Amino acid sequence: MAIPRAREHGLDLLIMGTGLRYHTSGEGAGLWVKKGSPIKTVADLKGKKLAVYSLGSAGITLVRIALHDVYGLNVSLKGGDLEFVEMPAPAMPAALATGKVDAAALIHAQAYKAMQTGEFTPIAQTAQDLTNKFHLRMVSAVLAGYGENLRAKPEVYREFQRILSASMEYAKAHPEEVFPAVGKEFNIEPGFFSAWFSRFSDFPVVLSDQDVKAIALLWDKAKELDILKTYPPIQETIWDKALRPDATSK
């Protein structure tokens, strides 16, 4: 979502690759309620408060698109069917547990913990909803660079992207080595990485044709919902030397 906004203000920000792509399993963008909550379905959210971490983000924009296009809710911030309560991500579980909000779009680490404890339960997996609706795996983050820098040192940025892609492929191919090592360094349970890579999301690095279509759809739907005022043609926003899937081995 930052790309069209930056370009609208004259910043030549270009997409280099895909940062986050929804997983085929469709988890990772769930809407959660407290265990035992009377809210059982998305329809029950009418008139209720939904905690979100950033209204300006692609992730929450995609949640709003799912609520509107899949479930038929009015997701306007004023006069809509539910109240979006923006707060720092670390505050959401406590707000949900204490009843300050009725539901929350928990981030991945929080969703993983909820799966372990059972304190919260999901009433929808909006990533799966969007995949089923549009037959695309949506993109919630991209790798980007400023055109002036990309044009000045294309070989440096291209090699950075190649190394990053190779590193990601190594991690996926050697989880028994990588997950415990990274978990130990950053005090994260290795099981989280297993869950993330198998159910939550992908970090492709490269930019596929389906990703381009997904980004274009995000912008189009965001404009329909008046979240974006305008956006440029998608091809104008892509670096012409962006690493594509068939080029990672070259």
Are 234 and 14 spatial neighbours (Cβ–Cβ below 8 Å)? no
Predicted confidence at residue 88, as pLDDT, reads 97
* Phi, psi torsion values for 25, nearest 5 degrees: -70, -25
Q: Which residues of 122-139 are buried (b: 16+ CB within 10 A; e: fewer)?
A: bbbbbbbbbbeebebbbb
Give the angle 55-115-53 at the CA atoms, nearest 5°. Answer: 10
Q: How far is CA 221 from CA 214, 226, 229, 233, 241, in A?
A: 11, 9, 11, 14, 27
Amino acid at 28: G
The CATH superfamily assigned to 30-134 is: Periplasmic binding protein-like II (3.40.190.10)
For residue range 179-220, list pLDDT tens digits in order. Answer: 999 999 999 999 999 999 999 999 999 999 999 999 999 999
Predicted confidence at residue 26, as pLDDT, reads 84
Say if residue 67's pLDDT is above 90: yes
Domain positions in the chain: 30-134
Predicted confidence at residue 105, as pLDDT, reads 98
Predicted confidence at residue 134, as pLDDT, reads 97
3-state secondary structure of 143: strand
For residue range 114-163, list pLDDT tens digits in order. Answer: 999 999 999 999 999 999 999 999 999 999 999 999 999 999 999 999 99
For residue range 41-60, list pLDDT tens digits in order. Answer: 999 999 999 999 999 999 99
